[in-house]
Every structure is written in structure tokens, then in C-alpha cells.
Amino acid sequence: MNTRMATKALTVWSLSLGCPKKRVDSERLLGSLGVPVKSVAQMGRARLVFINTCGFIAPAVRESVRAVLDAVNRLARCKNKPLLAVAGCMVGRYGAEELARELPEVDLWLPTGDLADWPALLAHALGLPDPPEKVTGNGGRLLSTGPSYAWLKIGEGCRHKCAFCTIPSIRGGLRSEAAPDLLAEARGLLERGVRELVLVAQDVTAWGGDTGGKKTLPYLLERLMGLDGLAWLRLLYLYPSGVTPELLRFIKEAGAPLLPYLDIPLQHAHPDVLARMGRPFAGDPRRVLERVRDILPEAAVRTTFIVGYPGESEAHFDSLCRFVEESRFRHLGVFAYQAEEGTPAATLPDQVPDEVKERRRATLMEIQAGISESLLEAHVGRRLPVLVDAPHPEWPGLHSGRVWFQAPEVDGMTYVSGPGVTPGALVECDIVENTEYDLTALA
């Protein structure tokens, strides 16, 4: 391999499906290859087409398969065919050998179990020199989120045993990432101008719980908060049992840049359904919410619910609706239950018909739309900082951004215009209008 080829930029077309953790894996991989990497918008201009799949639920698997088949069809028309590599949870769930039999056009399969070795496997397939390291964030990342924010994955796998979830079987048990590595990765992101770091894991409250030491989430947060250039630090995916009084008091006392934003996936409100799910706080999830609002009343709480779980009756669903009406969550996601092969829930009796699941999902989202609109309306006329994400694709001068209680990609957004509004800027703005889920602001 000559030096000229080794240092030439590798052109890449990439797609990451599913959760932000997958996006981090892709960004870390493409920054760990030991050569400059350049993103391209057209597959035919790439030397590498990389698809990071999701295998969490059946619709995600179908989306991943469609993406791979689309790439196969498009690349069949290319004169100089790029290397097609497919990675991620779908590969981990079904196995590279089985998928290779079904899709022989894929050049390289990368299972989640081989995550650390992805750079070496990919470099070998591309004829590149051996990369200097395994997948980490320390070698830099090929950011795909723009200048305003970046995801920081602090752990892999999960220690919980929810009856409906495939994650432990796909990605294994909890493995916390080392604090020095995370701090080095965070510094690198902030030095590149990123203003917000969003911590993600299957359960961020579990960080450090697998090491047997005393370094738990507050230890990591204290060190991240002291980094230069950090405007906002946000936590996503807090398992309810991990939202302890000690953690809440830490968040309250810490203040900026740690945001009082809590994403706590409760999954249901009725104890019967929660017990069948194998979830904590099966007696009454109100205890979690009461604890948050007693210690951290200013917190913006996001949650998710599953409707149509096996055995969920109309009475169970009515109880969930009342809970949502009473609780007035800042943000809410609702998913129709999917029976996933290999999970205990898939074999439970009293499976709910699909049309009932969809009706319940729509009903709950209609309730939440009214709550969200009312909560956002209370901010009209106020002045709030807006973190600017990107220019609007159709309206010159208009940008998308977010106020502190809007997480990227999962919540609503704030449309903003005026002096100083550029991607990555944190601008004081007047909130002038709202819809059900979005705000409009003027700098």
C-alpha cells in the first residue's frame, strides 16, 4: 500500500437507522479508520456505502431491510461499485451468516458483537492500512449532527430484563464506557464548536454500575460540566428506578450547564400492565413523577408509553389516559406494542389486535397534543435562549433551533430568525408564537 493511497480521503455515503446510539457508533467508526473521510451525498460517488441498521422491533427491521435493498438496487447501476457494508443491531439479531444468504450483494456484514473491531474489518475490506485504534471517540468523529449538538454514548447494553425488549439479547449486558475516554471524546467535540452534549445509553442512570466502584453518574457529570465551551448538558433515557432523590438533588444543585430535562420512559401507568412488562414501580408510577416534581419542580419531563401490550384492557388504557391528563408531561411518545420473537412478551396470552393498538395510540397522542399546546402557549411573550441547529431548507433567513426543554430530534423545535441567528449560536430570543409542538422566536 503506497503512502498516497493511504492518505487519500475515503469518500463515504452513510446511513444510521434507529436510536442516536447507532449514530454515535457510525460517527466513531468513520473517525477511527486512520484516513481522512469525506461524506458524499450520492452513493455512486462513494468508495464506501455504510448502513448501520436497527433491529429493535419488527418495523425497524423492515425499514433496515428496505434501506439495504435500495442500496443494492442503486449500486447495481454504478459503473465503479462501492463497497457495501451493513452493520448494527439487525446484524446482531439475525446473524451475519443468515443475512449473507438472503442478501449476497452485501460485501461486508458487521455484527454488534464485533463493534470494537469494525475499523480493522472495514479497512481490510477496503484495502486500507490497519487503523491505529479500535472504535472509540478519541480519534475524532465524522459528525453528522451539525455544529450545535452531538450525542455522547456513555454505555452499551442493558442490565434490565423488560419482557418486551430485545436489546439485552442483541447488544448484551451493561458495559459502561470509561470516564477518561468519554472526557477526551467530549473535549474533542467541544473544541470543534459543539455547544450541547446529549448523554445517551440504554439507561444513563446505570453508568458505572458494572464496575464495582463508587464512580456513578454524578461523578461523570461533574467532570463533563467543567469542560470549556459546554453550553448545555442533557440526559436521555433514565430508567425510572435510577431516578433517585440523590440524583435529582445533584441535578438541582449543579445548575448550568446541566439541564433539568429528564427523559424517563415509564411505558405504562397501570400496575397490572407494568407487572406483566417486568417494569419497576409497578405499584404506582406516580411515585417517580412526584419525586421529580417535589425535588426538581422546574424539570421538563419526557416519557414514552406502550399501548396494546398483551392483556391491556380498555380499563387499563382508560387509566393510562387519566394518568397522562393529570401528569401533563412536557413531551410524550407513544408506541403500539410489537410482539418480538424471542421475548417473553411475545408468548403472553391476550394479544391485542393491531387496529385496537393504533386506535389507542392515536387517542393518547391527541390528548398529549392539547397538553403540549397549552404548555407551549405559556411561553409566548417570554424571552429564552435558543440554540440554533440548521437553516430552514425552504425559507431563507429562517432556522430551526431549540429552547432548553426541547431535545434534538425527539421533541418539537423552535423556528427562529433575526440578527446573529447562525447554526451553533445560542441566541436570546422573544417567543412570539406556538403550535401544538413547536415555537416561533425572533432574535
Cell numbers linked to 368:
398529549
- Hey, how many other C-beta atoms are within 10 angstroms of the C-beta on 117? 14
The β-bridge relationship of strands 439-442 and 414-417 is: parallel
In DSSP notation, 9-63 reads PEEEEEEE-SSHHHHHHHHHHHTSSSS-EEE-SSGGG-SEEEEEE--SSHHHHHH
Q: Output the known binding site for [4Fe-4S] cluster.
A: 19, 54, 89, 158, 162, 165
Global model pTM greater than 0.75: yes
- Hey, how many other C-beta atoms are within 10 angstroms of the C-beta on 169? 14
φ and ψ of 74, to 5 deg? -70, -40
Please list, residue by residue across 321-343, b when 16 or more beta carbons sit within 10 angstroms of its beta carbon and e when fewer do: bebbeebebbbbbbbbbbbbeeb
Cell numbers linked to 226:
467543567
pLDDT tens sequence across 195-231: 999 999 999 999 998 888 789 999 999 999 999 999 9
Can you list the domains of the chain with their CATH numbers? 3-126 (3.40.50.12160), 149-377 (3.80.30.20), 383-442 (2.40.50.140)
pLDDT tens sequence across 249-276: 999 999 999 999 999 999 999 999 999 9
pLDDT of residue 140: 76
pLDDT tens sequence across 91-131: 988 999 999 999 999 999 998 888 888 999 999 999 998 88
Dist CA 246 CA 244 (whole Å):
5
Residue 235's beta-bridge partner residues?
199, 262
Q: Output the known binding site.
A: 19, 54, 89, 158, 162, 165
pLDDT of residue 7: 59
pLDDT in tens, the chain (443 residues): 344 344 578 999 999 998 899 899 999 999 989 899 999 999 999 999 999 999 888 888 999 999 999 999 999 988 889 999 999 999 988 999 999 999 999 999 998 888 888 999 999 999 998 887 666 666 578 898 889 999 999 998 888 888 888 888 778 888 999 999 999 999 999 999 999 999 999 999 999 988 887 899 999 999 999 999 999 999 999 999 899 999 999 999 999 999 999 999 999 999 999 999 998 665 678 999 999 999 999 999 999 999 999 999 999 999 999 999 999 999 999 999 999 888 999 999 999 999 999 999 999 999 999 999 999 999 999 999 999 999 998 898 999 999 999 999 999 999 999 999 999 999 999 999 999 999 999 99
pLDDT of residue 131: 86
- Hey, how many other C-beta atoms are within 10 angstroms of the C-beta on 397? 9
Using the structure block, give the residue that is written with the C-alpha cell 408564537.
433
How are strands ordered across the β-sheet holding 331-336? 149-153, 196-200, 232-235, 258-263, 300-307, 331-336
Estimate the share of the chain in helix, then strand, then coil, as percent rounded to the nearest 5.
40, 20, 40
Q: Which of 172, 189, 196, 198 minimizes the C-alpha distance to 92?
A: 172
pLDDT of residue 132: 77
Dist CA 304 CA 335 (whole Å):
8
- Length of the chain, please? 443
